[in-house]
Amino acid sequence: MPKFIWVTELSDKTLIKSGLANGLIVVDATEPNTDNERLMIIAAYQSNLVYFNEKSAMMTNYPLPLQPFSIYNNNLQP
């Protein structure tokens, strides 16, 4: 398990004006090989959940009906 992760929210122009996102990506900030699929821990966007399946060594997709959610903005304070 990584000690540090990066979380990125995904949005579009319409949603961001309302303070909403409709997807996210979580990556391992400690993974030294940035060409490796294992860098991405999980992604959820456009009704799909994507993650690296250790058993098959492939990216795996699952349907996930994700509704828009409030963006996290506490890290944007001065």
Query: Nearest 5°: CA angle at 36, between 55 and 28?
Result: 90
Q: How many residues belong to the chain?
A: 78
**CB-side neighbour CA atoms (13 Å) of 39:** 9
| pLDDT (mean) for 44-71 | 89
The C-alpha atoms of residue 18 and residue 49 are separated, in whole angstroms, by 24
Query: Quick one: how many helices (H) and strands (E) in the chain?
Result: 1, 7
Band the pLDDT of 14: cuts 50, 70, 90. Answer: very high
Number of separate domains in the chain: 1
Assess if residue 76 is contained within a domain.
no
Q: Domain containing 61: what range?
A: 5-71
Give the pLDDT band (50/70/90) at residue 68.
Answer: very high
In a domain, 77, yes or no: no
pTM exceeds 0.85, yes or no = no
